[in-house]
Amino acid sequence: MFKLVPRREPNAPMLYATPFIAVALTLIAGFGLFTILGKDPVQAMGLIFIKPLASYNSLAELLVKGAPLILIGVGLSIGFRAGVWNIGAEGQFTIGAICGGSVALGFYPGGGFWLLPLMALAGALGGMAWAAIPALLRTKFHANEILVSLMLTYVATLLLGFLVHGALRDPDGFNFPESRLFQDDALLPKLLPGSRANIGFLVALFAAAAAYVYLERLMLGFQARVLGQAPRAARFAGYSERRIVWSSFMISGGLAGLAGLFEAAGPVGQLVPSLPVGYGFTAIIVAFLGRLHPVGVVFAGMLMALTYIGGETAQIEMSLPSATTGVFQGMLLFFLLASDVLVNFRIVRAGKPLAPASAPAAARLTPAA
């Protein structure tokens, strides 16, 4: 049998290799999954992973779906680095869409060049306000931020439903629970002609670059990394946990709110109850797959967008259930977390004596064993 021996420090090549190992394992498992479902695995995999790359329209869709995933994933990765678990990005996304969308509807049918920046501001502030609740409850009352932010996601979805059934309902909409279609000035400019891709993608790339600077060059970003890796060291160094928790929630909440507004003002063009489609949860996978690094998050976001679009194609052409995408994403995260063992441990055949260099250290740590 084999056994695991802890590495003295995380293995850097493995850190970058594991996302690829995880993707490879997911592809293999996907092959098995499609075979069990009685579908041609080669055709299905081609539809999901290759076909979306072969047409202009689906490449543009890649940017549409990638933008919110990258925006949210970048924000979450900053918090996750600090051990601050904002799991409620989906709720902050929804509130951002409500706040920014309300601005557009409030000025309906008026507008001007100033309308979109104002909406974006309202969206980001909305997301930040929603994220402020778990931040406040954690810093003031030590309430678990995972549970609080998650509960607020359900509340946000219900709030959106409540508003589009009432206050924000389209007055000429035959009582459908939807808002008006936004006026032209409230819609995001297109990035690629003839497609749905909008400038949200550029904002996402900019956010990733800014997050890189924040984590690598600014003090607060450094403190966040220390708190996540060595909470005791952070405490001895006098870093304020309160400030780090707040900044993590404000950044991730603001970006999620912005992503929500971009969804409403971009591909959807109005407020509908089905606006939150799970980007906030998928972005958690994106953040981990991107190794909590802004550059990695950009690539991971694009890969996840690919599974969304490929999943839709496969759904139409092979009548595969839409949930297939969710299963793929879940498997990917599993394999990634499982292969992370290679980063922190060496696999050694049991019975083989330990390498001389590590033996005294191991013995010193556990004299009883």
Partner 1 sequence: MDLVLSILLGVVVAATPLAFAAIGELVTERSGVLNLGVEGMMIIGAIAAFAATYGTGSYIIGSLAGALAGAAMGALFGVLTLSLMSNQVATGLALTLFGLGLSALIGQSYSGVSLPRFPQVHIPILTDIPFVGPLLFGQDGLVYLSIALVAGVSWFLASTRAGLILRAAGENHDAAHAIGYPVIGIRYLAVMFGGACAGLGGAYLSLVQTPLWVENMSAGRGWIALALVVFASWKPTRVLGGAYLFGGVAILQLHSQALGLRVDPQILSMLPYLATIVVLVVISRDRMTMTLNAPACLGRAFHASS
Measured from the CB atom, is 34 or 182 closer to partner 1?
Answer: 34
Measured from the CB atom, is 31 or 345 closer to partner 1?
Answer: 345
In the complex, least distance from residue 320 CB atom to partner 1, rounded to whole angstroms: 9
Q: Is the sign of the CA dihedral 352, 355, 360, 362 positive or negative?
A: negative
Measured from the CB atom, is 230 or 362 closer to partner 1?
Answer: 362
Distance in angstroms (rounded) separating the CA atoms of residues 304 and 250: 25
| Strand, helix or coil for residue 144 | coil
Q: What is the maximal distance between C-alpha atoms in the chain?
A: 79
Residue ranges in contact with partner 1 by CB under 8 A: 3-6, 85, 87, 133, 137, 141-144, 146-148, 150-152, 154-155, 158-159, 161-162, 165-166, 281-282, 284-285, 288, 321-331, 333-334, 337-338, 340-341, 344-345, 354, 362, 365-366, 368-369
In the complex, least distance from residue 146 CB atom to partner 1, rounded to whole angstroms: 7
In the complex, least distance from residue 190 CB atom to partner 1, rounded to whole angstroms: 32
Q: Which DSSP letter does residue 272 get?
A: -
In the complex, least distance from residue 131 CB atom to partner 1, rounded to whole angstroms: 14
| Strand, helix or coil for residue 47 | helix
In 3D, which of 179, 30, 41 has the Cα closest to residue 99?
179
Measured from the CB atom, is 6 or 32 closer to partner 1?
Answer: 6
In the complex, least distance from residue 337 CB atom to partner 1, rounded to whole angstroms: 4
Measured from the CB atom, is 209 or 327 closer to partner 1?
Answer: 327
Q: Do 283 and 73 touch, CB atoms closer than 8 A? A: yes
> Between the CA of residue 136 and those of 24, 96, 141, 287, what are the distances in Å?
41, 19, 8, 24
- Residue 50 is encoded by which pair of tokens? 């290759």
